[in-house]
């Protein structure tokens, strides 16, 4: 049976460097039938046109700060059976689409969500969650070694993350895509609730993984310190009008305001913010809430069939190569890794030193998955602080830890 075709959608605004790195990761996916649709601001579009990606993907220029409207433009151009979404500041593991698409073999599955790793490349930002009618999410406990179709708690819906999710195109089209009333926040959560209300089933694929950098944007700076809360306030108020019983909206808004205040205080304690930032941030939140209360509720119309034919994206990197060595060999091994990646391989570079330093993983601009740390340091942050082992034993353990998602041969 022929594999389902997939349209990978990236929306990008004011982050051309992150966008090109995301595309470098997509250039190493091992799925046989996918296209790439990018909706980008003029700066991002110009960055793509300076690369060979320009002729290999569908590029739509859009210069408004509305992720939902941008995604709807992408859906209109998407010709795949499935539409997969990833943020411009994220990078997929090579096996991402293979695991993300597998649950769709069951025709009853309408959407699939994957797991998201954080900035250190090892810890998870998000795993499986469910969300209530106030937009509040909580973890779901499930088997993390295989795809599952969890049953949500009554009144809740299975949550997917906008940086790692896939939906059947027909489902998206029939539902009218994303609600443009959500310009930045809760956009996919609104879709989750609408799908749940329509009786549509969502699966979770734990091994479909992306790395999310949380790059700076109009709402936060590079160290994740908040700079503006208006869209969080607006989207929350708009979401509650859409999904929450009217007599509970006031209580939910007060809870959200308190949660955001606690976030601000946490960042004050971490010295990411100054005391003088507190009042402007909370005022921006209040302005946003008033905006969200007055936004016209969008009437979502069916999205027509694709306006462009499927454009297969031929990845440049196939197969996997492991390069290993001591940290003092880094310069030479990084050069070798770059050469291997340029030659068409997905390269995993392991650089370990004789220390208890914590491990981190990054996807470099050269297209190399680099993990560095101490032989005795921990990768999993829940593991022992110091681990006594040999170089080869530690290498084997770390290689095995990522083998399934990286597509590595462990024989």
Q: Find the mean pLDDT for residues 100-125.
A: 97
Contacts 24+ apart (CB under 8 A), 240-248: 240/134, 240/135, 241/292, 241/293, 241/297, 242/179, 242/181, 242/190, 242/193, 242/297, 243/133, 243/134, 243/135, 243/190, 243/193, 244/133, 244/134, 245/133, 248/134
- pLDDT-derived band of residue 225, with 50, 70 and 90 as boundaries? confident
- The answer to whether 41 touches 62, Cβ cutoff 8 Å, is yes
Q: Find the mean pLDDT for residues 190-200.
A: 98
pLDDT at residue 213, as a whole number? 86
| CA dihedral sign, ordered 153, 185, 53, 75 | positive
- Dihedrals φ, ψ of 164, to 5°? -165, 80
Residue 155 has pLDDT above 90, yes or no: yes
The CATH architecture that domain 320-406 belongs to is: 3-Layer(aba) Sandwich (3.40)
pLDDT at residue 374, as a whole number? 96
Rounded Cα distance, 177 and 70, in Å:
10
Domain ranges of the chain: 6-212, 230-294, 320-406
- pLDDT-derived band of residue 352, with 50, 70 and 90 as boundaries? very high
Residue 336 has pLDDT above 80, yes or no: yes
Q: What is the pLDDT of residues 156-182, one digit of tens each?
A: 999 999 999 999 999 999 999 999 999
Distances (CA, A) of 11 to 41, 105, 140, 201, 304: 9, 27, 28, 25, 20
Q: What is the pLDDT of residues 53-67, one digit of tens each?
A: 999 999 999 999 999
- pLDDT-derived band of residue 313, with 50, 70 and 90 as boundaries? very high
pLDDT at residue 116, as a whole number? 98
Q: Find the mean pLDDT for residues 61-81.
A: 97
Residue 36 has pLDDT above 80, yes or no: yes
Rounded Cα distance, 50 and 274, in Å:
40
Beta bridge partners of 210: 92, 116
- pLDDT-derived band of residue 224, with 50, 70 and 90 as boundaries? confident
Q: Find the mean pLDDT for residues 325-337.
A: 97
SS3 letters across 246-290: HHHHHHHHHHHHHHHHHHHHHHHHCCCCCHHHHHHHHHHHHHHHH
Residue 1 has pLDDT above 80, yes or no: no
Q: Find the mean pLDDT for residues 196-213.
A: 97
Q: Find the mean pLDDT for residues 267-291.
A: 93
pLDDT at residue 249, as a whole number? 96
Q: What is the pLDDT of residues 233-245, one digit of tens each?
A: 999 999 999 999 9
pLDDT at residue 384, as a whole number? 86
- Give the closest residue to 295 by CA, choosing from 232, 241, 218: 241
| CATH class held by domain 6-212 | alpha beta
Q: Find the mean pLDDT for residues 128-140.
A: 97
pLDDT at residue 216, as a whole number? 58
For the chain, the average pLDDT equals 95
pLDDT at residue 215, as a whole number? 66
Residue 26 has pLDDT above 70, yes or no: yes
Q: Find the mean pLDDT for residues 344-371.
A: 96
Whether the pTM exceeds 0.75: the reply is: yes
Q: Find the mean pLDDT for residues 266-281.
A: 91
- Please report, rounded to a whole number, the percentage of residues in the chain having pLDDT higher than 90: 90
């Amino acid at each position: 049976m022929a594999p389902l075709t997939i349209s990978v959608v990236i929306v990008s605004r004011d982050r051309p460097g992150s966008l090109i790195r995301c595309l470098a990761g997509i250039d190493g996916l091992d799925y046989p039938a996918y296209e790439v649709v990018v909706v980008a601001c003029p700066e991002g579009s110009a960055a793509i046109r300076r690369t060979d990606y320009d002729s290999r993907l569908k590029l739509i220029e859009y210069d408004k700060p509305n992720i939902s409207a941008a995604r709807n433009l992408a859906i209109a151009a998407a010709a795949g059976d499935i539409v997969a979404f990833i943020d411009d500041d994220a990078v997929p593991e090579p096996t991402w689409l293979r695991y993300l698409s597998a649950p769709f073999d069951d025709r009853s599955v309408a959407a699939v969500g994957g797991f998201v790793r954080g900035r250190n490349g090892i810890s998870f930002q998000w795993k499986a969650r469910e969300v209530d009618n106030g937009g509040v999410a909580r973890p779901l406990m499930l088997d993390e070694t295989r795809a599952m179709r969890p049953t949500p708690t009554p009144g809740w819906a299975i949550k997917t993350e906008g940086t790692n999710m896939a939906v059947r195109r027909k489902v998206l089209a029939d539902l009218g895509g994303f609600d443009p009333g959500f310009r930045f926040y809760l956009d996919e959560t609104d879709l989750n609730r609408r799908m749940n209300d329509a009786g549509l089933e969502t699966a979770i694929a734990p091994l479909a993984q992306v790395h999310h950098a949380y790059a700076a944007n109009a709402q936060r700076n590079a160290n994740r310190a908040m700079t503006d809360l208006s869209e969080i306030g607006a989207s929350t108020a708009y979401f509650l009008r859409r999904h929450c019983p009217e007599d509970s909206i006031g209580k939910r808004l007060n809870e959200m305001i308190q949660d955001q205040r606690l976030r601000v205080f946490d960042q004050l304690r971490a010295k990411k913010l100054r005391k003088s930032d507190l009042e402007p941030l909370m005022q921006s939140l209040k302005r946003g809430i008033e905006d969200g209360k007055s936004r016209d509720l969008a009437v979502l119309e069916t999205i027509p069939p694709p306006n462009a034919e499927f454009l297969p994206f031929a990845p440049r990197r196939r197969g996997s190569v492991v390069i290993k060595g001591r940290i003092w060999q880094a310069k030479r091994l990084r050069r070798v890794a770059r050469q291997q990646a340029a030659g068409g391989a997905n390269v995993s570079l392991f650089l370990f030193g004789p220390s208890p330093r914590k491990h981190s993983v990054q996807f470099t601009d050269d297209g190399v998955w680099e993990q560095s740390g101490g032989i005795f340091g921990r990768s999993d942050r829940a593991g022992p602080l110091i681990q006594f082992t040999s170089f080869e034993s530690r290498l084997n353990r770390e290689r095995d830890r990522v083998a399934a998602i990286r597509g590595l041969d462990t024989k």
